[in-house]
Structure 1
Amino acid sequence: MQRRTFLTGTAALAGAALAAQTPLAFGQAKLETRKVAIAVGGKNLFYYLPLTIAERRNYFKDEGLDVEISDFAGGSQALKAAVGGSADVVSGAFEHTLLLQAQHQMFREFVLQGRAPQIVLAVSKKTMPNYKSIADLKGKKIGVTAPGSSTSIMASFVLAKGGLTAKDVSFIGVGAGAGAVAAMESGQIDALANLDPVMTKLERAGQIRVISDTRTLADTHNVFGGDMPAGCLYASQSFIDKNPNTTQALTNAMVRALKWLQTASDNDVANTVPESYLLGDRALYLAAWAHVKPAISPDGLMPADGPATSLRTLQAFDATVQGKPIDLSKTWTNDFVKQALATVKA
């Protein structure tokens, strides 16, 4: 009996030791830091819905994390928070990792939220009733979440395809919620690059005419010529190197949120997000969600051709990356997501 007890105890200790030594294992690895500051630009948008789900359903807490999310007017401002050191991680557009590398700052995507940008460029029916082509936007005011954000990047790319540059228009920051709606309704802007539910609200109200749409995979391929990665979690390479287990925990929570979104009912989604996200119209929110749902990544993995598509897009108009040697392999990784997919249950 003593020998059996000893062997049993030894086996238990060996198992515990193995679990402690197994890196990045769900619920086993010791976190380097529990507190993580995440910056996001326009948290109410479907673009960032997986982040909200992970927060509201306590997936971050389940991973032992104490996450503080700061919401900014646009992705470019969220990026500045991370560069400036007031945020550890950004929930934002993948292309920002490319722009940062061009400026010799190494940031890396580690879990994808969206496989289509979901950004819509539309003109005002009030101020541009006779719109015919991109050339008509010359000299006009285009509303974006914030200058330098993914909405202004998408608009700049569409302008470039139509023969214009960002200097031919004025980009006006209008945010990602009621402010954007008000700016369009009041005639303060002539066009708007924004996301749902804002764009569906304006479209249904008859305020806008859509001229470029990336809410579906097919539309995204038409605009960008391939898979265009969108929202993701990214952080400085130094943060990831210093905090691999914390990075894994963040990824676990996000992958769990992505899995939940694949099976949740539309009403479950609407019931989970804050009431303010609905913009006062639950039916509209549900309709918009049904339209953009395929744009959400089902698993968090970066598509093989995604980074190259993003780089080509920026090179079409942005002098920051034109002619610069960008090492795409250093801007993303699927390693953390693969580990999460092997261990995390919805």
Structure 2
Amino acid sequence: MTRNFNIAALRWAVVLLVVSLGYQANAAEKLRVGKAVPFAWTFTPLDVGMQMGIFAKHGLEVEASSFGGDARLQQALAADSLDIGVGSGPGMAFMAKGVPAKAVAAMYGVPRNMAVMADYNKPIRTIDDLRGKKLGVTTVGSLTDWIGKRINAQKGWTSNGITTVPIGGMQPARAAVKTGQLDGYIGALETGYELEENKEWRVITSADPFVDHFITHVFFAREDLIAKRPEAVRAFLKGWVDTIAFMKANKDKTVEITAKVINVSPSVAARAYDEQMPIFSTDGVFDPKGVEVLKQSFIEMGLLKEIPDNKVMFTTEFVPVK
């Protein structure tokens, strides 16, 4: 009886071991993914892909987080608090400053998703009215910072132009505008529409009239992730591309999810969808002309003294995404 019991117990142990090994073999691979800011509609495909199980279909368990701008995102990558960062093209300048990461794919083209906004109650209605005004941006060296400087350059405002002030995210920006410390803010277009509906801010212009070629957003991956887990990078990029395809085919569901993620009305989310969806890359390839504008922006913003080599900033190992 004892011998039979021991044999049965052994069999069960073997079964449990096989099941455990099978589970481990099929377990989802974890990736820590961070967004430069939490309130941009262009970053919501991460949430859509997670909620619709698209990343899971590619064998990934995504742990998502958000930051107060590109500089903080890069700090998290440098500190090994993230595996992948969803940030701005200008953020590639940090690679030349020693951040142990590289851009692995382009995510978004010209900055149609960005806008200049002003206090609704101030007499600011046109681009020219922005001269001499203080506009909040997320962080120094961010895309929002560059847009302010780009407008100055395009308008020829070498003195008394737009002054950009690093303020972080929406909460401190709204407080600073409300108290008169700032005249406006450069940020996500959909946020401007939402606050315009509430007569708090007014959208003066989108950013794309001032930029012909650009790479607004890219995906960053830590160098050790690229070296040790390249298939995880590929799986993430495939999951993102599949998510973009889903969003294009399912506007209503996309609007429903994204409106909740960034806390805007469905009408604002629908407007963002119509205006911004066409700009998403479907293959992650780095546009050569966009890269050249980016590299020049590093000099214009004082982020770098010399234009870096492409290999310092990004790798083409993972594109085109198929």
TM-score bracket relative to the smaller structure: 0.7 to 0.9
Distance 1:67 1:325, change over 3 A: same
Tell me, yes or no, if structure 1 residue 194 matches structure 2 residue 191. Answer: no
Partner of 1:258: 244
Contact 1:127 1:187 (8 Å CA) reproduced: no
Q: CA deviation at 1:92?
A: 0.5
Tell me, yes or no, if structure 1 residue 67 matches structure 2 residue 52. Answer: no
Tell me, yes or no, if structure 1 residue 78 matches structure 2 residue 78. Answer: no
Partner of 1:318: 301
Q: Give the secondary structure class of the aligned counterpart of 2:318.
A: helix
Distance 1:202 1:271, change over 3 A: closer
Q: CA deviation at 1:89?
A: 1.4
Q: Give the secondary structure class of the aligned counterpart of 1:43.
A: coil
Task: Find 1:244's aligned residue among 213, 216, 230.
Answer: 230
Q: Give the secondary structure class of the aligned counterpart of 2:288.
A: coil
Partner of 2:138: 145
- Whole-angstrom CA distance in 2 between matches of 1:158 and 1:167: 9
Tell me, yes or no, if structure 1 residue 234 matches structure 2 residue 220. Answer: yes
Contact 1:184 1:207 (8 Å CA) reproduced: no
**CA offsets, 1:250-282, max 9 Å, x none?**
1111111122222222x1112233625242x22
Distance 1:301 1:49, change over 3 A: farther
- Whole-angstrom CA distance in 2 between matches of 1:135 and 1:142: 9
Task: Find 1:116's aligned residue among 110, 120, 123.
Answer: 110
Partner of 1:158: 151
- Whole-angstrom CA distance in 2 between matches of 1:53 and 1:239: 24
The 10-residue stretch of structure 1 (75-84 or 144-153) with the greater mean CA deviation from structure 2:
144-153
Could you tell me which runs of 5 or more consecutive residues in structure 2 were left unpaired when the two chains were aligned: 1-24
Q: CA deviation at 1:300?
A: 2.8
- Whole-angstrom CA distance in 2 between matches of 1:133 and 1:185: 22
Q: CA deviation at 1:194?
A: 0.6
Paired letter, 2:134: K
**CA offsets, 1:126-179, max 9 Å, x none?**
244487637732xx4322234443212222322344434899735142514x66
Task: Find 1:225's aligned residue among 203, 207, 212.
Answer: 212
**CA offsets, 1:76-97, max 9 Å, x none?**
2111111122112111012211
Contact 1:50 1:113 (8 Å CA) reproduced: no
Partner of 1:24: none
Task: Find 2:96's aligned residue among 95, 102, 107.
Answer: 102
Partner of 2:38: 43
Q: CA deviation at 1:104?
A: 3.8
Distance 1:195 1:275, change over 3 A: same
Tell me, yes or no, if structure 1 residue 296 matches structure 2 residue 280. Answer: yes
Q: TM-score, normalised by structure 1?
A: 0.74
Q: CA deviation at 1:182?
A: 5.5
Q: CA deviation at 1:326?
A: 0.5
Q: Give the secondary structure class of the aligned counterpart of 1:194.
A: strand
Q: Give the secondary structure class of the aligned counterpart of 2:301.
A: coil
**CA offsets, 1:234-258, max 9 Å, x none?**
1233331222111111111111112
Q: CA deviation at 1:186?
A: 5.5
Contact 1:113 1:233 (8 Å CA) reproduced: yes
The 10-residue stretch of structure 1 (201-210 or 159-168) with the greater mean CA deviation from structure 2:
159-168
**CA offsets, 1:193-248, max 9 Å, x none?**
0113201123444554544423xxxxx3x41232x112221123333122211111
Distance 1:128 1:152, change over 3 A: farther
Contact 2:298 2:307 (8 Å CA) reproduced: no
Contact 1:258 1:300 (8 Å CA) reproduced: no
Distance 1:210 1:201, change over 3 A: same
Q: CA deviation at 1:71?
A: 1.0
Task: Find 2:48's aligned residue among 46, 53, 56.
Answer: 53
- Whole-angstrom CA distance in 2 between matches of 1:77 and 1:242: 24
Could you tell me which runs of 5 or more consecutive residues in structure 1 were left unpaired when the two chains were aligned: 1-29, 215-219, 342-346
Q: TM-score, normalised by structure 2?
A: 0.79
Q: Give the secondary structure class of the aligned counterpart of 2:63.
A: strand
Distance 1:333 1:103, change over 3 A: closer
Q: Give the secondary structure class of the aligned counterpart of 2:136.
A: strand
Distance 1:79 1:166, change over 3 A: farther
Distance 1:89 1:164, change over 3 A: farther
- Whole-angstrom CA distance in 1 between matches of 2:125 and 2:272: 27
**CA offsets, 1:10-42, max 9 Å, x none?**
xxxxxxxxxxxxxxxxxxxx99x9222122122
